[in-house]
Amino acid sequence: MALKALGVKEGDIVLCQSLTFAATANPIIYQNAIPVFIDSNYETWNMDPNALEEALQKYGERVKAVLVVHLYGLSTDMDRIMNICNRYNVPVIEDAAESLGTYYKGKHTGTFGKFGVFSFNGNKIITTSGGGMLVSDDEERIKKVRFWSTQSRDAARYYQHSELGYNYRMSNIVAGIGRGQLKVLEQRVAKRNIFLNIIKGN
Ligand SMILES: Cc1ncc(COP(=O)(O)O)c(C=O)c1O
């Protein structure tokens, strides 16, 4: 939905982190766009800003979005990524599926780019059994996504659909389960951080 909201279409290039789960890249293909994979670095385990800049120079105006990931809940170097993307005027989408509860310089991951995408899949830090969340401060685009994700039903008294619709709505029952789990989020993030510090050798 984020890619569609940014107008990504057939033949466009989306720069995407290579070290990630397939679900980061699949939506690029849904739009018939072309994923170009960018390597990660040793410091962040996420998208390498130097490699990103090289690709932006190489592909120029064909690049319509950059898709970064905060893998395992480790934050990407958002200062450098945002600085580079702003210079090239390319919107950033953050795949924050694994980083609920992660902050970068005091700001929550998933809130730096144009869109942030969170997952509440069964293997995530809190879960609604399935589904996720799209966040943005772009109210107009969020409104449009809400429309598409609830079957694109026009504001008519009868069933009328002028645009292709999707059934991506989270049900209120599973949303309730997710809200209940917010109570244990802090505790789980603290546990995860102990583990991350061990594997990162801190
Ligand atoms: C990095 C990453 N991106 C995307 C996804 C997809 O999320 P979902 O299963 O909610 O579609 C996952 C996990 O499933 C993930 O770990």
Q: What is the DSSP string of 120-167?
A: -BTTSSS--BS-EEEE-S-HHHHHHHHHHHBTT--SSSS---SS---B
Give residue limits of the domains in the chain.
2-137+171-199
pTM: 0.96
Determine the distance separating the centroid of ligand 1 and the alpha carbon of 33, expressed in angstroms. 19
Q: Considering only CA atoms, which residue is closest to atom 5 of ligand 1? A: 23
64 in catalytic set: no
Cα separation of 136 and 182, whole Å? 20
**Which residues, judged by CB distance below 6 Å to any ligand atom, belong to the binding site of ligand 1?**
20-21, 23-24, 69, 95, 97-98, 119, 121, 132
φ, ψ (nearest 5 deg) of residue 132: -165, -160
- The domain over range 2-137+171-199 is classified in CATH as 3.40.640.10: yes
Catalytic residue, candidates 124, 143, 183, 200: 124
Please state whether beta strands 92-95 and 63-69 pair in parallel, antiparallel, or not at all (unpaired): parallel
Q: Which of 1, 54, 55, 56 is nearest to 26 (CA)?
A: 1
CA 73 – ligand 1 centroid, Å: 12
Q: Read out DSSP for 7-23? A: T--TT-EEEEESSS-HH
Atom 6 in ligand 1: which residue has the minimum CA distance? 23
N-terminal to C-terminal alpha carbon distance within the chain: 37
Write out the chain's pLDDT in tens, 202 residues.
Answer: 999 999 999 999 999 999 999 999 999 999 999 999 999 999 999 999 999 999 999 999 999 999 999 999 999 999 999 999 999 999 999 999 999 999 999 999 999 999 999 999 999 999 999 999 999 999 999 999 999 999 999 999 999 999 999 999 999 999 999 999 999 999 999 999 998 888 877 7
